[in-house]
Amino acid sequence: MESLRTSPRVILLLLLCAAPTTPGAPAGDKPKVILVSMDGFRHDYLSMAGGTPNFDRMLREGVTMPWIRNTFTTLTFPCHFTMVTGLFEESHGIVANSMYDQRMDRTSFGMPTTDEDWWTGHDTIWTSAQKAGLKAGVYFWVGSASKIQGVRPDRWFPYDNKVPFEERVDTLVKWMSQDDLDLGLLYFNEPDHTAHVAGPRGADTMAQVRRMDGVLGRLMDKLDETNLLDRVNLIVTSDHGMADVDSDNQVRSAGTQDEILVTQAVVNALKDVAHMKVMLKEEIPERFHYRDSPRVQPVLLLADEGWGISENATWRRQNLPRFRGDHGYDNILNSMKPIFVARGPAFKQNTEVEPMDTVDIYPLMCHLLNIEPAPNNGSLTNAARLLRVPPTPASTPAPTTPEPRSEPTSPRPGCLTDWSTRVEVCSFLLAALFLMTRFINYSHIL
């Protein structure tokens, strides 16, 4: 009888049992994950554009849903940070593309992404992966150029929208193959950039949708060339959709800036203005998961779909005529819903499932990478219907409520706050105006 110590058959059996595998992946190959965001890619763009063979392939070989439920505020920075943290905006603290922080007494314009103070220390998918001993590369993502918990991804670049899309794809695949990264993230600013100008139904926007289909095809081809296509669990999604807007549909403000006291009478007067909703912080709907952040200020103005809020007549004349699409509206609106499609060894094929939430993407990716998720608002149970092999009950923890990373603070007593500069920072046509600095310029509402 052969001893246990010297039996090659026993040794081989032990090695096979110990090797981590993903259903459908070649034996012995550990799975990899790539998350791709195509900014402003509405859930119904594929049916509108036509001529998208690579997305069609993803749908045949993978799993999709009619849309994925994104978070309010339906803005780029908050929604992208939700995807990689599994947290609602009130939990991760990135509540807008530009915002005022009372504790720091600072206003962020365009979110200086290398400024560590704005990122509240919550785990992202890349910090979770690195803590587990995996390697991550991020080719542009909200927060990736800043240290979070003192670290950056293993591979990253500061954001530069001039980098060709093809170069981004080729570099990420090189990282995944030659540097043997486990996790890759990839961001594109289209079709959002074009749709702001052309509108969500414009011919130029549809051309960009077809262009992004070509980018997806290049990604899959490059993965195939490096023998990664059948090892990578590829997720393609977006931060928000896009609504049609008319530059004439503007709630207009005028007058000089001055500090005024917040009274119920002031709020009531604003509530009489048509085409927008005015809410005190405590009145913000619970379903927004938004009001409990200290960076959300006492009053919120939210424009009706197709309407915006502009700062002054000069700004309107210079900027509004060239914008036909916008976002930042209520996330329940059909126009705000993004796309979701996934392909890879862990996912079902040629299947459509019920929608899940963007907070569920983070625990899903943690499961695919076989790592422990940080506290988050998502649920692997919601994402389980995407998977060929459902996770065991032990691997589907209930959603948790993360601890806040900064002490709640209050604006100066009696002061109404305004964020009129979002007009310049976001899309030049406000879908939602957050009252967020410390002054108000509503001496007249026209």
**Residues involved in catalysis:** 76
Q: Please, are residues 183 and 126 in contact by the beta-carbon 8 Å criterion?
A: yes
DSSP 368-436: HHT-PPPS-S--HHHHGGGBSSPPPGGG-PPP--PPPSS----PSTTB----TTHHHHTTSS-SEEE--
Token pair 């919550």 is found at 122
433 vs 429: CA distance, rounded Å: 10
- Cα within 13 Å of Cα(385), Cβ side: 13
Q: Please, are residues 373 and 366 in contact by the beta-carbon 8 Å criterion?
A: yes
How far lies 392's CA from each of 153, 202, 234, 367, 386, in Å? 30, 46, 22, 11, 14
155 vs 135: CA distance, rounded Å: 9
How far lies 213's CA from each of 52, 119, 181, 208, 410, in Å? 6, 32, 24, 8, 46
Q: Encoding tokens for residue 392?
A: 């065991």
Q: For residues 165-193, b (16+ Cβ closer than 10 Å) or e, as one string?
A: beebbebbbebbbeeebbbbbbbbbbbbb
Which residue, among 244, 240, 222, has the nearest Cα to 232 in the 3D structure? 222
State whether residue 302 is helix, strand or coil: strand
Classify strands 62-64 and 232-237 as parallel, antiparallel or unpaired: unpaired
